[in-house]
Amino acid sequence: KMVAEPVNVNEFRELARRALPKMYYDFYNGGAEDQYTLKENEEAFAKIVILPRILRDVSGINLSTTVLGYNISMPVMIAPTSMHKLANPAGEIATARAASACKTIMVLSNSSTCTLEEVAACCNAVRFFQLYVYKRRDISAKLVQRAEINGYKAIVLTADSPRIGRREADIKNKIVVPQPKNLEGLLSTKFVSDRGSGVEALANGTNDPSFCWEDIPWLKSITNLPILIKGVLTHEDAIKALEVGVAGIIVSNHGARQLDYSPATISVLEEVVHAVGGKVPVFLDGGVRRGTDIFKAVALGAQAVLVGRPVLYGLAAKGEYGVRQVLEMLMDELELTMALSGCSSVKEITRSHVRTKHEQLL
C-alpha cells in the first residue's frame, strides 16, 4: 500500500507503525493491562460536543497563550516521553528543535536518550524537566540541580509511578532498552531483565515507591524552580497539591500506561479545575489527537494540553520534520475549530462552548 501524505495525527500513527520495529511501536503505542483507559482517553473526548456561536468576526484567530508566564504559540505542549532515540537517531534533540520551531514548550523526560545538557544546548525552546524520584535521592537531587543550571524553567514531578504499570506487550516482546542517558556515571547498578520487560526492570529498580506528599518539602528545598505535579485525577489530590504549594497541576493518567481503569483524563478535568479554583493553572494530557480535543479541554478549564504519542509518531515517521508537522496539524485544526465555533482567541473558549456526555442525557 502506498504511504500518502498524512492528513491527521492518526495517519501519523500508521506511518510510525510501518517505520518502527514491532517491539518499539508496541512500547510507544501500548497501555496497561486491558488497555481500557487507553481507549477511554480518546473515546471520552468523542462524547463531548461543541456548541458553536455563529456570526462572530473570525477573520483573525489568535491561538497564543501563556504557561507559567512564558508565551507559547498555542495551548499545546510536548509531554515527557522516554527514549526518543528508539524512534529516531537524533532523539530528543529532534523533538526539542521541533518544539522550538513551533514556539512551544517541551517537557524533557527524566528517561531521555540524550542528556539534558545536550537538549539544552541544541535549541532555544522553553524547556521543563520531568522528574521521577529515585531510591537514590542524591541522584534525583543532582538531576534537579543540573536541570536548573541548564535553564530548564520548571520541574514536572511525575507522581503516578511508584511502580510501573503492567504493559503486557513489553513483557511479551521482552523489550530491551538503553539505560537512561542522564544517569550515565551516576548509577553503578545496571537494571536489566533477562526475561520480561526491560522497562519494568529499570523503572522498578530506580523509582522510589515510598516517595509521598510528606516528601514534597524536600523537593522544594533543593530547587528554586516551580514544581508542576503530574498524575492528578481526583479533587482530593488536587487539594493536597495546592496544600504542598505546587505551581501547577497536570491531570494525567500517564497515557493509560499506569493504572488501568483509571478515568479518562477529560472526564475528570472539570472536577480538578473546580477544586483548584483558579489558584494555579491546570493542564491535561491523554488522548489529545485533534484540534477539537484541545478546544474541549480548554473549554473545560485547562490552561493547555500536552501531547505524548502524537509527537512520537511524528518523530518515528519523519524525525524533526514529522514532529513539526504533527504540531502544525494540531495548530491548524485548533484554529479552524475556533473559527467555526466563533472564538477568535483562546480566552473566548468557555464552558458554554461544550456539552459533556452527562449534559446530553438531561
Position among 285, 293, 320, 333 found at the interface with ligand FNR (CB under 6 A): 285
Cβ nearer to ligand FNR, comparing 58 with 110: 110
Neighbours of 263 (CB within 10 A): 19
| Burial (0-12, 13-18, 19+ Cβ within 10 Å), 320 | buried
263 sits near ligand FNR (criterion: CB under 6 A) = no
Euclidean distance between CA atoms 276 and 240, whole angstroms: 10
* Cα distance between the two ends of the chain: 46
Q: H or E segment at 241? A: helix 235-244
Q: For 285, list phi and psi in degrees, rounded to 5.
A: -135, 165
134 sits near ligand FNR (criterion: CB under 6 A) = no
x/- map, 107-126, ligand FNR, by CB under 6 A: --xxx---------------
Residue 254 among the catalytic residues: yes
Position among 15, 67, 75, 80 found at the interface with ligand FNR (CB under 6 A): 80
The stretch among 50-58, 89-97, 249-257, 347-355 that binds ligand FNR (CB under 6 A) is 249-257
DSSP class of residue 24? H
> 84, 254, 353, 358: which one is catalytic?
254
- Would the annotation count 35 as a binding residue? no
Instruction: Provide the grid cell at 59.
Output: 477573520
Position among 88, 113, 140, 158 found at the interface with ligand FNR (CB under 6 A): 158
Cβ nearer to ligand FNR, comparing 130 with 267: 130
Euclidean distance between CA atoms 103 and 96, whole angstroms: 10
DSSP class of residue 300? T
Q: For 255, list phi and psi in degrees, rounded to 5.
A: 60, 35
Taking CB atoms, the residue at the shortest distance from ligand FNR is: 308
353 sits near ligand FNR (criterion: CB under 6 A) = no
- Would the annotation count 132 as a binding residue? yes
DSSP class of residue 251? E
Which residue ranges are tagged as binding site?
Answer: 109, 130, 132, 158, 167, 230, 252, 254, 257, 285-289, 308-309
Interface residues toward ligand FNR, by CB under 6 A: 27-28, 41, 79-82, 109-111, 130, 158, 230, 252, 254-255, 257, 285-288, 307-309, 312
